Amino acid sequence: MDHDEYIRRVRSYIKTPTKEIEQQLDDFLKICIYVDGQYDQDESFENLNRVLGEFEKGRNETHRLFYMALPPSVFIVVSQHLKRCCYPKKGVARVIVSHYDHNDLPPSEARSH
């Protein structure tokens, strides 16, 4: 997937019943970025950090929000890479974990969530 495909997908999930809402979506999409990478490679997360740094240039503090809609099998490794490579030096980072189907997990793991 590239940036244009990402934007197309985001746009396809959001209804814009009025011109005003369509303009708000256009404005929102101007600040959305897609960065391709691998779940388990520091280089991918270092690249993400560089892209975010360019976007945040000139700010004294940076606050980052990571939305993770990932399969459970990669959640921990992605979280570790975000912490190691992408947390801001000044500011805060938050992670939102998208709901996933506990049926994907063995019964003992599902009960612990």
Structural domain includes residue 35: no
What angle do the packed helices 3-12 and 19-30 form, to 10 degrees? 150
Mean pLDDT of the residues in the chain? 88
- Tell me the pLDDT tens digit for each residue of 2-38: 999 999 999 999 999 999 999 999 999 998 889 999 9
Domain hosting residue 56, numbered range: 51-113
Whether the pLDDT of residue 93 is over 60: the answer is yes
Number of domains into which the chain is organized: 1
Structural domain includes residue 63: yes
Structural domain includes residue 41: no
Q: Which residue has the tokens 């945040």?
A: 56
Structural domain includes residue 4: no
Sign of CA dihedral 53, 56, 58, 60: negative
Structural domain includes residue 57: yes
Q: Which amino acid is at 21?
A: I
Structural domain includes residue 20: no
- Tell me the pLDDT tens digit for each residue of 30-53: 988 899 999 999 999 999 999 999
pTM for this one?
A: 0.73
